[in-house]
């Protein structure tokens, strides 16, 4: 039996990771919000958003993201600046979950989706 090597193996691993991530998103990303959640007061929504940003900040720190993304993501370090990032949230979700070979580790197995969403909220809130 011959085993794939090199680029062929990388493609197979990448395909497997993407399939696993797609299953994860399908299982957890399609949970509907109860009608009462949609009718919250605006002050509560602001409070919830602030709590989500704080959770994202804590997850960013706890997972060592600042090691590569300098000044809490506000400046370019070993990796790109995250403040004012032009990528959409889906791209950021995928990049955090699956990483980028040789550039960024994947966090999809170690972080719950709520933490990844909170990190994205934190990134979107960054100011100079």
- CATH value at residue 75: 1.10.760.10
Residues 6+ apart with CB under 8 A from 103: 79
Q: What is the pTM of this model?
A: 0.64
Q: Please identify which residue in the block is written with the tokens 């699956």.
A: 98
Q: Would you say residue 32 lies in a domain? A: no
Q: Would you say residue 23 lies in a domain? A: no
What's the rounded Cα separation, in Å, for the pair 87 and 29? Answer: 19
Q: Would you say residue 125 lies in a domain? A: yes
Q: Would you say residue 10 lies in a domain? A: no
As for how many domains the chain has, the answer is 1
Report pLDDT for 30. Answer: 43
Cβ atoms 106, 97 nearer than 8 A: yes
Q: Domain of residue 90: give its range.
A: 49-128
| pLDDT tens profile 78-96 | 899 999 999 999 999 999 9
């Amino acid at each position: 039996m011959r085993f794939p090597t090199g680029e062929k193996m990388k493609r197979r691993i990448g395909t497997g990771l993407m399939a696993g991530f797609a299953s994860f998103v399908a299982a957890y990303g399609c949970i509907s919000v109860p009608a009462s959640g949609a009718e919250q007061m605006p002050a509560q929504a602001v409070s919830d958003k602030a709590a989500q940003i704080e959770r994202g900040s804590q997850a960013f720190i706890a997972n060592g993201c600042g090691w590569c993304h300098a000044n809490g993501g506000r400046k370019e370090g070993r990796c790109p600046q995250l403040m004012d990032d032009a990528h959409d949230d889906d791209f950021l979700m995928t990049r955090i979950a699956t990483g980028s070979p040789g550039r960024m580790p994947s966090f999809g197995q170690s972080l719950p989706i709520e933490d990844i969403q909170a990190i994205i909220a934190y990134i979107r809130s960054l100011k100079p």
